[in-house]
Chains A and B, each alone.
Chain A
């Protein structure tokens, strides 16, 4: 059936008005829902921070790099961000390879994406451990405010809750990508004749990366 002919009545029933399968539609709506979850977190963070007299300076808190010591503000988180964005690029390449039906390229790009995700999670684990050894955790903030006063309790509370929630999303994204990889290797998509499931996994992965841009901005830059 030709679907691109002019005058196609997209909304008159018997077809998807957006020309997508139901799963992708559900993914888009799920991502909207998830965006509201993160939005609520970040707005909560914003209101508490706005009502505080002062707040710790991220350039002082986040200034360590493994093996290089301290005095390198935001260098490590820049690396983390870079890794995550690159993993989005490899995800795009996996989706494109799927469009071509190029199984080998799908596999390799998925592997790189999974490695990128794991590297990001590893970096986060290092950062959390480092902060923990400096005395930071839920309910304890060793970092003084920028104006020298005792640090606001909710600085670490929000940091660990929101980056943790994001990390949980990255972790589930990695799990999804591993499942996609196994399914690809077992020729599930070859038999189906399309790699649309990888597109949906890709949507999720890009969303998680996009959220990180906001989390990164709100916690490290502002």
Chain B
């Protein structure tokens, strides 16, 4: 068969290349234009961390405004120039820019590229038993498109009229009319270019992840022997490959509306701001953009949360020294979530004038997601139930993830009801919900992965004490920041307002807002502690002495402590069992590479 020849010639090729690591690697080919999936993972991670710090800093700045609307921080003028007015307060325009760019970069650059870009690259080849991704070259391109997107987005912070300020969802007409507000001009052009580049990056990465998982599993690694991380990353990639193109279509129509006089999203409306006046457009529909946006936007939240779920499943099992509870149910729930992710987007649009009859179906489909989500939660709890738990920082973040996913997930059941949503839509209740269930839970999944696989990435450990401080302050801080927002949201406090002191009905939340701001600053400071821990440990951390420091069963721990390009110095190991043989037949754990013994009890 000619196809088989190709498959094998590919294999042979990588043997030749990587068998003995004889080939010369320059600084450029090793660290910059690297085609090694492990290096690309680190590039994604560190770029994502830079964005996390920038995006986090932005949130601290706009929390200043919310917590201290009347204070006069004149020192900020020196720091931020024209973003701050003469009284020392962030201007309304830059407040909206900060909120917009905070949302965009945290959702796309940190929790999509930084999370699945990092761990799909690191874990897929290592855990399925492949020497690298199916196409290392496209994989490299995926990172470079992401970096280009990053640089364009970064440059938009420095343009004269400021970055885009119409919200991370970029709804028209604010996004479609360059004259609508200062940030809608050059800032929006750069935002669109950055996002288009990001879609390309995501597509190239996603195709590679899918092809690698399907085609390049080592001998014996059937689909149902794969660790749940790989299943989660597989469904994440499918979500990305099928939902980002719809966003791209929406963006292309938006570009035409902005630059070429079309009326896809614009109709004959009158806009008073900045003397825009009556638009010449006819027949367009701003709601069309919302449909196209949320067809990506909703799967996007699962693109964020599925990799976190996968890593948490793995870490909970390893550190409880117990097999994951209900492996097939976990895979089935991931699959169900993937399918449902495409069928619920209009629940973001209940108050747009959506037909209530149609809304009823979206309510039903949305609430259905509670079923696979609950299955996953119960399986995590039963996995750690009566386990011999090792409370490593990774394990704490995994447990924290489960806690946050429950807390944030329950409010999703409220918001998924179209009737309740009339009251809750665009209030702080929504802010609390998505920050807990997607934002903080996603970040916790990411931290869980970083602490757990750091020894594989750098051959050293992160400092545990700093890790514990990082975990407890972040967990307590996350709840202290977002829990109160449920109350102000229920009381009707809307999102996106610049200064609540102007409203008699929201003045009562002034002290609460101040409290949230103080906690946000503390949590941000603790992230800097983590950053220190991360970079300090790369060079000075405690060295990993054992090949399998966590006593895990999966394949990445059968590679050398610092694996070269090609991962295994000799043959790729063959797999004989599933990834969760912990505490079986009196043995603490049995690696996937161990052949099945003759008198072993029932075998997966």
Contact = CB atoms under 8 A, between A and B. Distances in A.
B222 A37 contact: no
B261 A138 contact: yes
A17 interface: yes
Contacts of B284: 48, 153-154
Interface stretch (A25-33, A112-120, A122-130, A213-221): A25-33
Given A16-B215, A29-B211, A165 B4 contact: no
A44 B253 contact: yes
Tier of interface size on chain B: 35 or more
Contacts of B135: 22-23, 26
A4 B263 contact: no
Contacts of A34: 245
B6 interface: yes
A139 interface: yes
Contacts of A19: 1, 3-4
B264 interface: yes
B256 A22 contact: no
Contacts of A41: 249, 252-253
B250 interface: yes
B422 interface: no
A222 interface: no
Nearest to B255: A161
Contact of B5 (A33, A44, A193): A193
Contact of A26 (B134, B256, B261, B262): B134
A22 B1 contact: no
Contact of A194 (B2, B134, B215, B252): B2
A25 B211 contact: yes
B71 interface: no
Contact of A22 (B212, B219, B264): B212
Contacts of B212: 22
Contacts of B241: 29-30, 32-33
B169 to A, nearest CB: 16
A182 interface: no
Interface stretch (B41-49, B106-114, B202-210): B202-210
Contact of B246 (A13, A25, A36, A196): A36
Given A13-B222, A14-B220, A40-B246, A25 B2 contact: no
Interface string A191-222: 00110100000000000000000000000000
Contacts of A157: 256, 262-264
A139 B220 contact: no
A32 B243 CA distance: 10
A186 interface: no
A29 B211 CA distance: 9
A52 B242 contact: no
Could you say which of B6, B241, B243, B285 has the most chain A C-beta atoms within 10 Å of its C-beta?
B6
A166 B225 CA distance: 42
B285 A51 contact: yes
Given A40-B245, A196-B3, A14 B214 contact: no
A37 B261 contact: no
Contacts of B420: none
Contacts of B283: 48, 52, 152-154
Contacts of B263: 139, 153-154, 157
B143 to A, nearest CB: 17
Contacts of A44: 249-250, 253, 264, 288, 292
Nearest to B572: A14
Tier of interface size on chain A: 35 or more
Contacts of A67: none
B440 interface: no
A30 B204 CA distance: 9
B12 to A, nearest CB: 13
B3 A21 contact: yes
Contact of B215 (A9, A25, A139, A161): A25
Contacts of A18: 214
Given A33-B203, A153-B263, A161-B262, A17 B242 contact: no
A51 B263 CA distance: 14
Interface string B242-270: 11111011101100100011111000000
Contacts of A30: 203, 207, 241
A29 B290 CA distance: 26
B495 interface: no
A104 interface: no
B290 to A, nearest CB: 12
B260 A22 contact: no
Contacts of B249: 37-38, 40-41, 44
B3 A12 contact: no
Contacts of A51: 285
B285 A47 contact: yes
Contacts of B214: 16-18, 25
A46 B163 CA distance: 33
Nearest to A37: B245
Given A11-B223, A13-B575, A14-B218, A139 B262 contact: yes
Contact of A12 (B10, B211, B222): B222
B208 A26 contact: yes
Could you say which of B129, B219, B249, B284 has the most chain A C-beta atoms within 10 Å of its C-beta?
B249
Contact of A33 (B3, B128, B245): B245
Given A138-B262, A193-B5, A22 B216 contact: yes
B217 interface: yes
Contacts of A196: 2-3, 6
Interface of B: 1-8, 10, 128-129, 134-135, 138, 203, 206-208, 210-212, 214-223, 225, 241-246, 248-250, 252-253, 256, 260-264, 281-285, 288, 291-292, 295, 574-575
9 contacts: A3-B1, A12-B222, A14-B218, A38-B249, A44-B250, A48-B284, A154-B264, A193-B2, A196-B6
Interface of A: 1, 3-4, 9, 11-23, 25-26, 29-30, 32-34, 36-41, 44, 47-48, 51-52, 138-140, 152-154, 157-158, 161, 165, 193-194, 196
Q: What are the nearest 3 A-B pairs in CB distance?
A: A139-B261, A14-B219, A40-B249
